[in-house]
Structure 1
Amino acid sequence: MKNIAIIMGGYSSEYKISLISGNVVYQFLDKTKYNGFRIHIFKEKWVYVDDNEAEFPIDKNDFSTTVNGTKITFDCVFNAIHGTPGEDGLMQAYFELIGMPQSSCDYYQAALTFNKRDMLSVLKPYGIKTATSYYINKGDHIDTAEIVKKVGLPCFVKPNKSGSSFGISKVKTEAELPIAIEVAYQEDNEIIIESFLDGTEVSVGVINYQGKVTVLPITEIVSENDFFDYEAKYQGKSQEITPARISEEMTQKVSEAAQRAYEVLKMKGFSRSEFIFVDGEPHMLEMNTIPGLTTESLIPQQAKAAGITLTDLFSNAIELALEK
């Protein structure tokens, strides 16, 4: 039996969702192969939490814990932290330094994909289309007329490095821009302002399954809200239709783009990319490398449509990490 540390929590607004994802992994882990351990990673403490909710500190020297005088070490880490420090490369770099296998991509890929501006710039030369964008950093002079001239209205104001749609606003008038920028600054000191792409939104999961890069069935997102925001993602204010109601040609185009992004970036583990079709062409919005794993989340829905159980999905991620 292998000891698997399931890390969850994190330092960002997404910690609550991460705790749910981590508990789903714990619940569906193959108990015949693995002993699962829930590890909470917070700024103030790293602890192993047992089934009675008792907490035992993690020794950061070797990522071990001691329970009733017995030292417990881990064979592999299953990373279920959305946002920092699990999705931006910090945990990945730490595990690489101590020689601990972990289920997500490597630290450089995590840092790159977590930074929306940098990731889209890297993928552009490979023919992956994106929205028109405008960048500002905290302290920069804000010229609303210049922003509108470049990206048009309506537009989206987003924190550059944040997930679960925290801090994102859809802006319909120039006067709303400064307010939206302040909202985004609460999540990050860098902002990306993007043109509004009017079209069908889809989410494409790409995983390495049994050693082969595999595009999962595509999900179409129909939000009741103005866009696929936090409420739409987690509070049922959207319809998620898998497989998506798009043509064979659109399916092929977006699958190729998502797979190309995964391969160009030398990704490992899970990835979930969001695209919007404009005139039949997929435009990429972002890539998540620690996508939600709650039972309502998109990757579990897509895996189910592909005939992959959660237990198989999680076992596969662990086996691939152990092979490394």
Structure 2
Amino acid sequence: MTAVTTERPLIAPEEDLSALPVVPARHPWRWLAGAAAIVLVAQFLHGLATNPGWDWPTFRAFLTTDTILRSVGVTLELTLYGTVLGFAVGAVVAFLRLSPSPILQTIAWVYVWAFRSIPLIVQLVFWFNLSYLYKRFGIGIPFGPTVFSFETMDLLGALGAAVLGLALHQAAYAAEIIRAGVISVEQGQLEAAAALGIPRLRQIRRIVLPQAMRSILPNAGNEVISLFKGSSIVYVMAIGELFYQVQVIYGRTGRVVPLLMVATVWYVVLTTLLSFGQYYLERYFARGSQRTPPPTPLQRLRSFLGQLPVNKPAGGQR
């Protein structure tokens, strides 16, 4: 006799699988955590709206006054000049550090070491009092006669000293950011470009920098935003930037909290705009590394709105 055994198949037929109901996974704790977070945010917003200590009428009265708007302009001016000059000097210092000359490498390293070691407020006070240390600057033969000289009192005002201090301080950090981006590019690409006879400057401009920008931009964006907020430190030089003007106003009116909220709102708004600019710059330079870049916030919003159900009239009639 032959025993016949029937084994149950491990995998059900395809038609049986298609008949099974699809039940989405349930995450009760996730929904509970989300609901608790929403309650906390709602309580915080309710406290902002109802707590009289925030003094929102005073906040609205000073938010867009001429004094505050002018101080915002000064803050943006300091940020713009400090960023442009800082990264220009930082690029030079970065390539000096990458130079094969040990003398240039040492000078660039000492520059980065010095300006990262000295606090920014000390640097600003030093440049503000430059005329006390050096009465005159001259141009001539080294250790010889001076051909042309001028007084340092006429060289730098308060705003010029602030821009110079911020730019030189920023350049030390920008140099390291740029150097890190440059050395992140594969060395074999430069060797191949040199073998093809491409000039060194064109190698840097067309091969190194477009790829290095992917590493440079995130850190550079952080530094620009940090400089924008750190420009408030120039209040020690009595420059009418945003934080200084807020201090002057609440020193006169005694309304400390609403005036600090005025400065906070302007810093948040402008930092958000800078973050948007950083996002689109990163997206632009990432186009060669990603076949399909992720959608922008505006594209995501349009996609979300396009998925919303639309009630169409019956029969296609309006």
Question: Normalising to structure 2: TM-score of the pair?
Answer: 0.20
Identify the structure with bigger relative contact order (alpha carbons < 8 Å, sequence gap 6+).
2
Greater per-residue helix proportion: 2
Greater per-residue strand proportion: 1
